[in-house]
Amino acid sequence: MAWLDSHLLTSILLCPVIGLALTALIPASRTGAIKLSAAIVSGISCALSILLWQRFDPSTSRLQFTERMEWLPDLGITYIVGIDGLSLPMVLLTGIVFFTGVLTMWELENRVKEYFAFTMALVAGVFGVFISQDLFFLFLFYELAVLPMYLLIAIWGSTRREYAAMKLTLFLLAGSALLFPALIGLSHYSGLNTFDLTLLSDANTDWGGMGIIIFLFLYLGFGVLAGIFPFHTWSPVGHVAAPTAVSMLHAGVLMKLGSYGVLRVGMQVMPEEMVRWAPLIAALAVCNILYGAFVALGQTDLKYVIGYSSVSHMGVVMLGLATMSAAGISGAVFQMFAHGIMTALFFSSIGHIYDHTHTREISRLGGLFTTMPRASTVFIIAGMAGIGVPCLASFWAELLVFIAAVKKWPLAGALAIFGLVVSALFVLRVVQRSFFGPERDDWKDMPDMGNFMATPRVILAAVLLLFGFAPFLMLDQLAASVDALVQVLEASP
C-alpha cells in the first residue's frame, strides 16, 4: 500500500500496460477470459483514478504525486509524472471512459484479443499524456495513443473505414510533425536543454521571434487533435467509422489530448504568446461552435451529428482557454470532462441502436422511444447535456465559459451562446425524428438494453448528473491550479 501511495500515477499508467500483457498471454480463442481481464484491468485503473481524485489536495497548485527518474540526462529527458488540478479531471475521465468502453464492447466477437490489446495500448498512451510532466514523454505517449486508432478503425470499423482510418492517421501525424519541432524548439531555445515542463514554465524565457513560430506549431499540432476549424474533418469521419467504444474513446478522451496539450504546453510554457494569439484562437473557436452546430444540423447519419457536435463542443473548450480568465479556464477544463462523458454516452447509445437496427439514418429510425426506452433515454440525457440543460455537468462548463467570453469579447460570446440554440435544434431534431413519433414495424422486435449492457450507460449518466448537481466537486479541485495559471497569464504583457 505504501508503494501504491508513492507510485499512484505510475500504477495507473501500468494498468493498461499490464492489461496489454495479459491480453497477449491469453489464447485468442478464450474471448471470455480476455474480456474479463480487460474489465478487471480497466476497473482497477478506474478505481485508482477515483482514489487519485479523492487523495488530491485541492489547496495547492503544485504538482502532486510526482515521481522522477533520470532517463537520458544528456538530452534533458526525464521520466516525470505528476498531476495538478488541470490534469486530474482528465485522468478521472480517462478511467471512467476506459472502464465503460470495455463494458460496452462486451458483445464483441470479431478478433477480440487484438481489439482489447489495441485499446489497452491506446489508453496507456492517453494516461501517459495526461500525467507526463516531461515534454518528451508527453509526445511519446501522444504518439502511442494515436497509432492504435488506425488499426481499431480500419479493422473493426464500419462506413468507409479505410478512408476514415487513413484520414485520421494522416491528420494526426501531420499534427505530430508540427509538434515535434516545436518541442525540440522549446527545449533548445529556452537554453535549458531540458524537456521538463515545470522547469520550462518556471524559466520565464524570452522567446523572441522564435516564440511565434513555436507557439503556432504547438497550437496547430495540438489543435488538429482538438478538431479546431478548419482541421476538423478527420474527426466526424473517424467517429462514424469507428466501433462504439472506439468512438467513445476517440471523442471522449482522444480529442481532449489536443486541448489539454494547448493548455499544458501552450499556455503554461508560453503565456506571452498565448496572450498574443488569444484572439485568433477565440475566433477559430467561435467558428467551431457555430459551424460545427450548423453542419451537424444538416447531417443524416446519427453518428455524424454527434461527430460534428463534438467539433462544436470542442470549440467551447478552446473559447474558454482563449479567455484566459479563471472562469473561462475552469469552464474549459470542466467542459473537457463533461463533454468526454457526454459523447461517450451518446456513442454508447448509438452503438446499441446500430447493433440492432443496422442503420444510423435518422430518417429510417423513428419511434425508438417506444421500442427501446432505455437506449433512447440514454440518448436524450446525453442530448440534454449537449444543449446545456442545467443539472447536467456541461451546463456549468458552458455557463462559465460563456460568461467569461462575454466579458472578454462580447460579440464572440453572443455568437457562441447562439451556438447553443443551434445545438438545441440539431439535438431535438434527432430526438424528434429518430426517437419520437409512431413506432416503426421494422424495429418492433428490437431488444432494449439488458441490465448488464445498461450498466456502463448508467455509470456515465450518473457521472453527468453528479457533476451537474454538484459542480463544486470539480471546481474546487481546479481552483488553485487555474488561479496560478491565470496569474501567470495576467503577468504576461
Partner 1 sequence: MSLSQWGLLTIGAPLVTFVLFLLGVGRRPTLTVALSLTTAALACAGTWAMAITLPEAGYQATTPWAATADFSIHLGIRLTGLSTAMGLVVGTIHLLVQLYSLGYMATDPAQARYFAVLSLFASAMLSVVYAADLIQTFIAWELVGLSSYLLIGFWNFKPSAAQAAKKAFIMTRFGDLGLFLGLALLMLNMPVEAGGARNLLIALILEAVANNDLAGNLFGYDQHTVIGLLLLCGIVGKSAQFPLHSWLPDAMEGPTPVSALLHSATMVAAGVYLFALLQPLFLASSITSTVALGIASFTAVMAAGVAMVNPDMKRVLAWSSISQLSFMLMGLAAGSEVAGFFHLVTHAGFKCLLFLSAGIFIHLAHSGDLTEIGRKVGSRSRAASLGLLVGAASLAGVPAMAGFMSKEVILAQLHQPGYEGFYWLALLGSAMTAYYATRMAAVILRSDSAAVSHHRDTEQTKQEVDHDSNHQGGLADSIMAMTVVGLALVTLGLGWLGPQLAGHLGLDAELVAIDWDSMGVGLAVTALLAGGGLAWYDYGRTGAYREGFLSGLPAIEAMLKDGWHMDRCWRWVSDKIIAGLTLSALFIDRRAIDRSIDGVADGARSGGVLAASLQSGRLQWYLSLTLAVLAVALILLEWK
Q: Which residues bind partner 1 (CB under 8 A)?
A: 167, 170, 230, 233, 291, 294-295, 297-298, 325-327, 330-331, 367, 369-370, 384, 387-391, 395-396, 399-400, 402-404, 406-407, 410, 413-414, 417-418, 420-422, 424-425, 428-429, 431-432, 435-439, 470-472, 475, 478-479, 482-483, 486
CB of 34 or CB of 296, closer to partner 1: 296
CB of 61 or CB of 190, closer to partner 1: 61
- The torsion of the CA quartet 263, 267, 273, 279, rounded to 10 degrees, works out to 50
CB of 137 or CB of 291, closer to partner 1: 291
CB 270 to partner 1: min, Å: 22
- d(CA 140, CA 74) in angstroms, rounded, equals 18
- d(CA 226, CA 315) in angstroms, rounded, equals 9
CB 390 to partner 1: min, Å: 4
CB 380 to partner 1: min, Å: 9
CB 406 to partner 1: min, Å: 4
CB 227 to partner 1: min, Å: 12
CB of 97 or CB of 290, closer to partner 1: 290
CB 213 to partner 1: min, Å: 21
CB of 44 or CB of 287, closer to partner 1: 287
CB 326 to partner 1: min, Å: 4
Q: Classify the phi-psi angles of 159: left when phi > 0, otherwise alpha if psi is within -120 to 50, otherwise beta.
A: beta
Q: Which amino acid is at 259?
A: S
CB 479 to partner 1: min, Å: 7
- d(CA 374, CA 475) in angstroms, rounded, equals 31
CB of 361 or CB of 439, closer to partner 1: 439
- d(CA 58, CA 54) in angstroms, rounded, equals 10
CB of 370 or CB of 455, closer to partner 1: 370
Any residues with CB less than 8 A from the CB of 51 and at least 6 apart, and which? Answer: 8
284-to-111, 219, 230, 268 alpha-carbon distances in Å: 40, 12, 8, 20
Report which of 259, 255, 370 is spatially closest to residue 306, judged by C-alpha positions: 255
- d(CA 160, CA 203) in angstroms, rounded, equals 48
CB of 301 or CB of 355, closer to partner 1: 301
CB 101 to partner 1: min, Å: 23
CB of 249 or CB of 416, closer to partner 1: 416
- d(CA 183, CA 280) in angstroms, rounded, equals 22
